[in-house]
């Protein structure tokens, strides 16, 4: 049971407090309990050890849907269900990449998600090295046609993970820009910071491609091998062989569980999101086993408090975030008539590093709530960020519709050493950091679900996304 603090409100409180004392007190109790609670670790351990890789459409994906329904049921949530989602299904197959001249080297590489394979005899061609999409866009068909394009951009390491946007843009669109100019294949330096000769995968955008060409990523160390030879001045040739292929679409599911609200606000929803799928190279511990664990453990603490929230807390474990946001789109479409009932969304999809900043995307008139909420997070070394929170990829359809967002910014300094690589495994998760995340999420979720006021609603964002046009670089 939560301790409900009964105290007379002073005049000052009545004016100043967006979060009533009772809510504040309970939130602090939940926060402090979360810091000692190993539920999240147990969840991500079970998922990574017993299920492991779970690429959309794969057998692991189907196993994860079953695992997730069992998890949310066993934790005691209500209305646990899988909402069917059609997902693309891509198979990595086998890949070999080698430099065939001037100096023979076998390269450690991985196919990018959605890549087609090569012809059976492989592709061997000379390499055209560029350092950016902009440099590639300046090349003519005559310069590119018949070559394998090598995009050699070194990702920058940052606490915010901000270096990833330029690198992932190259991964998403490099093959499009190259194919438009007649290239035979694209080879990129991994969109990651690892120095451990483990390449980084991730999705290629499939729209507006004039012809499908294979796309692969080299580990940073292997990119160094290729760059050295490319800089030698001699012509460099590469040989690629890949059996990657796109398969027929498959069925997966968004797995959902709830703590139903009680009272006049019961039809309003506080959404906690993470995603079920992972890339196939690792066991998906930091992406996004940790996210599932954080939000499920946070909701479980509220459930166990024995006092139902006023608003419904909905845990949504999305299908196929990695390869096209299938689950996020399906959720927004299926729940279109109730989108404005989502008073706020929080997503956990940036690993298990400690939260160091709390940002928001709420109506100006609700900023006082966020500031007070920040006061409850500050003792955990969490700074107040701005009011331009991104929230996460799976929330983007709802965010674009105007749903407010609360964002827990995690330390991403080392995230891209492991993200989307074989090394995304359980040992990368620090228990204390994970528990600090749960504490931050439970505090915010509890407050959001129990205060009188809400976070407003924001203007629609109608900017198109998902194109490889130069103006969107």
Residues that bind a second copy (CB under 8 A): 45, 49-53, 103-106, 108, 194-198, 220-221, 224-225, 228-229, 282-283, 421-423, 425-428
Give min distance, CB of 89 to a second copy, in A: 18
Cβ atoms 335, 417 nearer than 8 A: no
Rounded CA-CA distance 119/264 in Å is 62
Q: How far is CA 105 from CA 101, 221, 222, 223, 283, in A?
A: 8, 12, 9, 11, 29
Given 258, 321, 322, 347, which residue is catalytic? 321
Integer Cα distance of 64 and 301 in angstroms = 23
- Ramachandran area for residue 294 (φ above 0: left; ψ -120 to 50: alpha; else beta): alpha
Cα 173 from Cα 204, distance rounded (Å): 6
- Between residues 96 and 160, which has the closer beta carbon with respect to a second copy? 96
Residues in CB range of 120: below 8 A, 6 or more apart: none
Does the N-terminal peptide bond of residue 288 adopt cis geometry, omega within 30 degrees of 0? yes
Nearer to a second copy, 54 or 342 (CB): 54
What's the closest the beta carbon of residue 144 comes to a second copy, in angstroms?
26
**Shortest distance, position 310 Cβ to a second copy, whole Å:** 40
CB closer to a second copy, 32 vs 45: 45
Q: Number of helices and strands (H, E) in the chain?
A: 13, 16
- Nearer to a second copy by C-beta: 50 or 452? 50
Structural tokens at position 198: 């483990």
Task: Pick the closer one to a second copy by CB: 156 or 388.
Answer: 156
Catalytic status, residue 45 = no
Q: How far is the CB of 299 from a second copy (least distance, A)?
A: 26
Parallel/antiparallel/unpaired status of strands 123-130 and 109-111: unpaired
- Smallest distance, a second copy to C-beta of residue 210, A: 35
Separation between Cα atoms, residue 223 and residue 150, nearest integer Å:
9
Q: Annotated active-site positions, please?
A: 321
């Amino acid at each position: 049971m939560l301790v409900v603090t009964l105290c007379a409100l002073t005049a000052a409180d009545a004016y100043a407090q967006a979060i009533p004392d009772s809510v504040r007190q309970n939130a602090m109790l939940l926060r402090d309990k979360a810091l000692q609670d190993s539920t999240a670790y147990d969840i991500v351990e079970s998922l990574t050890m017993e299920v492991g890789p779970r690429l959309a459409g794969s057998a692991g994906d189907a196993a994860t849907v079953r695992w997730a329904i069992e998890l949310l049921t066993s934790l005691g949530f209500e209305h646990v269900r899988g909402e069917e989602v059609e997902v693309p299904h891509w198979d990595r197959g086998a890949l070999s990449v080698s430099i065939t001249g001037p100096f023979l080297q076998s390269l450690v590489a991985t196919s990018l998600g959605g890549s087609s394979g090569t012809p059976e005899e492989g592709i061997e061609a000379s390499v055209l090295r560029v350092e950016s999409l902009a440099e590639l866009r300046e090349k003519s068909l005559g310069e590119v046609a018949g070559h394998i394009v090598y995009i050699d951009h070194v990702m920058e390491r940052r606490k915010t993970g901000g270096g990833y946007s330029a690198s992932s843009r190259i991964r998403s669109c490099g093959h499009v820009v190259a194919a438009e100019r007649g290239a035979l294949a694209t080879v990129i330096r991994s969109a990651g910071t690892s120095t451990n000769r483990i390449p980084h995968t991730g999705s290629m955008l499939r729209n507006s491609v004039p012809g499908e060409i294979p796309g692969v990523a080299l580990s940073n160390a292997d990119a160094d091998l290729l760059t050295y030879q490319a800089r030698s001045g001699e012509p460099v040739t590469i040989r690629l062989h890949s059996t990657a292929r796109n398969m027929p679409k498959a069925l997966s599911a968004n797995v959902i569980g709830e703590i139903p609200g009680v009272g006049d606000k019961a039809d309003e929803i506080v959404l906690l999101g993470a995603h079920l799928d992972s890339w196939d190279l690792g066991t998906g511990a930091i992406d996004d086993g940790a996210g599932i664990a954080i939000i499920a453990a946070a909701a479980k603490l509220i459930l166990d408090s024995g006092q139902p929230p006023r608003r419904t807390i909905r845990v949504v474990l999305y299908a196929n975030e990695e390869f096209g946001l299938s689950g996020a789109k399906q959720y927004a479409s299926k729940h279109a008539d109730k989108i404005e009932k989502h008073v706020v969304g929080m997503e956990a999809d940036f690993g298990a590093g400690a939260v160091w900043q709390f940002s928001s995307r709420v109506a100006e008139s609700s900023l006082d709530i966020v500031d007070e909420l920040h006061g409850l997070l500050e003792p955990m070394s969490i700074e107040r960020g701005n009011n331009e929170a991104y929230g996460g990829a799976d929330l983007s359809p709802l965010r674009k519709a105007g749903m407010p967002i609360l964002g827990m910014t995690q330390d991403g300094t080392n995230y891209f050493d492991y993200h989307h690589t074989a090394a995304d495994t359980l040992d990368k998760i620090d228990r204390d950091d994970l528990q600090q995340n749960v504490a931050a999420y439970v505090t915010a979720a509890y407050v959001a679900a129990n205060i009188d006021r809400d976070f407003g609603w924001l203007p629609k964002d109608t900017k198109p996304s998902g194109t490889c046009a130069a103006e969107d670089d």
